[in-house]
């Protein structure tokens, strides 16, 4: 018997239900990854994610080879390639991980139809890329939770499946050919400080996090300069870490830090169950809104200043520059740059979401689009008019200005709290730094929002 495992957002060997199910019969297994140009065309591929993906595929191949197997890579339409490999190896079963994006749902439907037409079966496994499956918990009156707190209460009460061992031996049919694996160095336009990918790196990071990070997470997670969050998001996005294992092991570590960390991981599952129920929320407002976002030349100039980290608000600019340099941004930075774009500049959240997806190594349709909507006040947040003041935020979450000085070198020599409000410097001193004046005053931005939302 031969089975195929189609790897997608689950690039690991540990705690991998589709792989375990495929090995169950004791036969041969084809571990397959398809580089599908449709994924790139749909905008899900970006240089930082492609570079990270190259690391993941190489590490997966190394892990498989240690167990007697290897990774098979094909290029082309996923459905065509899976069917082709199935025909070449006479496989009767295909196993893969369930996913929630509209793209993944269409792919799954097409694949099932094509395989069944050839007399083969597709098995889709859940709790591979989420701890709790989308739809596993729902309120009485709806198919999904729109508000996080009641979702989290129910999510926390779910018993998680056991963590599965990593298989020891994997036998891959000799006859199946593979395209060469991509290399990180082949990808251009990658952020200079992009982190490394792969299951080995993900597990190393997670173990270090449990040993010496998670305990202080509750108190330090918003400290911009302290960088005291896990940075596990790309590993959870690519599935080089299993969310079930992450939640279980964090709970075993115990304490308020671990509890707060697990709560954040639950946000991933929350967003996935929203997107599974409302696939259109990736592009359309979750709640019906009548926002007349600004457009035209001035609006585009403001958007460009925001993208380039030249808004004149140091903490906003620092976060935007961190994104460009690292392909990652601190959550507090994401919140306040998103608030600034949508509430202060009054620009469409989709403008920001698109830019983030072009750079974020953890860029993920569910988490990105729904967090953007949450901050824009078009999503599931119960306080849609919430505005984060970048000066107050900076003083609270970067009290000594170290984050700003790290990412905005023009301000590196400015001492004291004025680093967060450089427009208060004497004019000559400010112009000597080369740092821009604010693109808009906060009062003006707030007025515009109030007028606009008052009308809405």
Binding residue numbers: 217, 229-233, 261, 362-364
Residue closer to ligand FAD (CB basis): 57 or 388: 388
Query: Does residue 146 interact with ligand FAD by CB under 6 A?
Result: no
∠ Cα 235 57 368 (to 5°):
35
Q: Tokens at residue 209, please?
A: 């996090």
CA 374, distance to chain mean position in Å, is 15
Q: Is 307 in the site for ligand FAD (CB under 6 A)?
A: no
254 or 409, CB closer to ligand FAD? 254
Q: In what order do the strands lie in the sheet with 93-97?
A: 72-75, 28-35, 2-7, 93-97, 121-125
Distance in Å, CB of 367 to ligand FAD, minimum? 4
Closest CA to 303 of 331, 344, 332: 344
If one asks whether residue 336 binds ligand FAD (CB under 6 A), the answer comes out as no
89 or 368, CB closer to ligand FAD? 368
- For position 225 contacting ligand FAD by CB under 6 A, the verdict is no
Using the rule CB under 6 A, give the single segment among 61-69, 71-79, 178-186, 229-237 that binds ligand FAD. 229-237
Q: Which of 302, 227, 218 is nearest to 262 (CA)?
A: 218
* 1 vs 207 by CB, closer to ligand FAD: 207
- Is 436 an interacting residue with respect to ligand FAD (CB under 6 A)? no
Q: 235 to 254, contacts with ligand FAD by CB under 6 A?
A: 236-237
Residue 152 Cβ vs ligand FAD, minimum distance, rounded to whole Å = 12
* Sequence-separated contacts (24+) of 287-290 with Cβ below 8 Å: 287/378, 287/379, 287/380, 287/384, 289/377, 289/378, 289/456, 290/455, 290/456
> Is residue 397 within the footprint of ligand FAD (CB under 6 A)?
no
- Residue 386 touching ligand FAD (CB under 6 A): no
- Closer CB to ligand FAD, 233 or 380, in the complex: 233
Q: Does 81 bind ligand FAD (CB under 6 A)?
A: no
74 is a contact residue toward ligand FAD (CB under 6 A): no
Q: Does 419 bind ligand FAD (CB under 6 A)?
A: no
Among positions 240, 371, 378, 380, the unique one binding ligand FAD when judged by CB under 6 A: 371
Quick check: 53 binds ligand FAD (CB under 6 A)? Answer: no
Q: With contact defined as beta carbons under 8 Å apart, do 424 and 438 qualify?
A: no
Asked if residue 264 binds ligand FAD (CB under 6 A), the reply is yes
Q: Among candidates 150, 125, 149, 145, which has minimal Cα distance to 135?
A: 145
* Residue reference for tokens 């994997």: 170
C-alpha dihedral, 130 to 134 to 138 to 142, nearest 10°: 150
Dihedral of the alpha carbons of 21, 23, 26, 30, in degrees to the nearest 10: 130
Q: Which residues of 361-389 are buried (b: 16+ CB within 10 A; e: fewer)?
A: bbbbbbbbbbbbbbbbbbbbbeebeebbb
- Least Cβ distance, residue 305 to ligand FAD (angstroms): 18
Binding site for ligand FAD (CB under 6 A): 221, 229-233, 236-237, 261, 264-265, 267-268, 271, 331, 334-335, 338, 356, 360, 362-364, 367-368, 371-372, 375
């Amino acid at each position: 018997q031969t089975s195929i495992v189609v790897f997608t957002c689950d690039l690991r060997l540990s705690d991998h239900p589709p792989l375990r199910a495929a090995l169950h019969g004791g036969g041969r297994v084809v571990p397959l990854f398809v580089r599908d140009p449709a994924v790139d065309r749909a905008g899900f591929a970006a240089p930082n994610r492609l570079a990270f993906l190259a690391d993941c595929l190489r590490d997966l191949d190394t892990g498989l080879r240690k167990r007697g197997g290897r990774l098979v890579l094909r290029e082309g339409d996923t459905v065509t390639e899976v069917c082709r490999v199935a025909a070449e190896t006479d496989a009767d079963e295909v196993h893969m991980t369930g996913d929630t994006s509209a793209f993944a749902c269409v792919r799954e439907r097409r694949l099932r139809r094509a395989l069944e037409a050839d007399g083969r079966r597709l098995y889709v496994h859940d709790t591979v890329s989420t701890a709790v499956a989308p739809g596993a918990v729902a309120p009485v009156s709806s198919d999904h939770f729109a508000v996080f707190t009641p979702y989290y209460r129910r999510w926390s009460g779910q018993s998680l499946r056991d963590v599965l061992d990593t298989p020891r031996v994997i036998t891959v049919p000799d006859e199946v050919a593979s395209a060469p694996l991509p290399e990180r160095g082949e990808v251009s336009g990658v952020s200079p400080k992009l982190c490394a990918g792969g299951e080995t790196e993900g597990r190393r990071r997670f173990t270090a996090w449990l040993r010496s990070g998670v305990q202080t997470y509750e108190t330090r997670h918003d400290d911009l300069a302290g960088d005291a969050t896990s940075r596990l998001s790309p590993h959870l996005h690519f599935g080089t870490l299993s969310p079930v294992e992450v939640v279980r092991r964090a709970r075993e570590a115990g304490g308020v830090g671990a509890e707060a960390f697990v709560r954040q991981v639950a946000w991933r599952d929350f967003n996935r169950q929203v997107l599974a129920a409302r696939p259109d929320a990736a592009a359309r407002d979750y709640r019906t809104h009548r926002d007349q976002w600004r457009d035209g030349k001035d609006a585009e100039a403001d958007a460009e200043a925001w993208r380039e980290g030249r808004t004149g608000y140091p903490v906003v600019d620092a976060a935007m520059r961190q994104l460009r340099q690292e392909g990652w941004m601190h959550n507090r930075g994401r919140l306040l740059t998103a608030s600034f774009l949508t509430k202060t500049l009054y620009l469409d959240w989709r403008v920001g979401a698109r830019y983030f997806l072009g750079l974020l190594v953890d860029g993920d349709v569910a988490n990105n689009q729904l967090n953007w909507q949450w901050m824009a006040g078009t999503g599931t947040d119960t306080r849609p008019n919430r505005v984060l003041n970048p000066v107050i935020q900076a003083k609270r979450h970067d009290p000594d200005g170290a984050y700003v000085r790290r990412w905005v070198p023009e301000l590196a020599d400015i001492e004291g709290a004025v680093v967060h409000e450089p427009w208060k410097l004497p004019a000559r001193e400010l112009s000597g730094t080369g740092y821009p004046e604010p693109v808009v005053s906060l009062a003006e931005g707030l007025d515009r929002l109030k007028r606009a939302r008052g009308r809405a």
